[in-house]
Structure 1
C-alpha cells in the first residue's frame, strides 16, 4: 500500500511565486500610483518603453506577460496623460509603434531611484540568499514559456 504525499498549496512553487510576485508588485505599486496615478499595467508599459526606443503593443504584451487588451487600454490612458505617443509603423501599417514623451521620460527618471531603492530593500530582506534567488529567477525567466 503506497501512501500519497498530500498536496500542500503553501509548498507548491507556482503558488509561492504567484503570491510573492503579487505582494512585491502591490507594495511597489503604491509609489507609481501615488506619484503619477498609474495602474500596474500602465507602469509595466512605461517601464518596457523605457528600455527601448520604440515598441509595439504586441511586443509589450509578449514581454510583460500581459493580455493585449490590457496593454491597449493602458496605452490609451498613457497617451491621454501625455506620457507616450502612438504612430503607425512605417513597415506595417497594422502595427502601432509606441514611444515615451519627454513627460514619460521624466516620470521614469523620477521613479528609477525609487524602484532601485525598493529592489534593494527586497534584496536586503533575502540577506545571504539574495544572489542565488536572483540567479534562479533569471534562469526561470529565460526558459521558454512552453511548460503550460
Structure 2
C-alpha cells in the first residue's frame, strides 16, 4: 500500500510498466462484452458512454482490455472522497510497443465509469500523485 508523498515519488521513480506488460487478449465484440463481467451492473450504459466520445471507434475497439484490467491490474489508485477506483494495466502490442489502459469504476466495481486506452505516462503520474492510496501488483524486477 502506497500513501505518503515520499512513497508515491519512490513508486513513480521505480515505475517501468513495460516490464509487467502482458499480450493484448483477443478482440471482443459488444455482445461478448455484454456477457462478461457478471458483477457489473451497467454494461450497456458503459458501451453507450464509450460510443458518445469523439474517439468512440478506438475506445470500443479496446473492450477486450476491460476484464483483464479489472481482474488483474498492475496497480489500483483510490480516491476516498470520490469513491472511485482507477485500475491501470499495461499491454504489449503485436509491434512490440506498449499500451496502458485505465479503467475507472465506482460502487465496489459494480459500475464501470470509463475506459481510456493508451494513457500517457504523464497522465498516470498525475493520477498517482492525486490518489489517496495505491495498491501495486507489479512484482519488483519483473
Band the TM-score falls in, shorter-chain normalisation? under 0.3
Higher strand proportion:
2
The structure having more radius of gyration, on CA atoms, is: 1
Give the alignment's TM-score, normalised by structure 1. Answer: 0.26
Higher helix proportion:
1
Greater relative CO (CA pairs within 8 A, separation 6+): 2
Give the alignment's TM-score, normalised by structure 2. Answer: 0.27
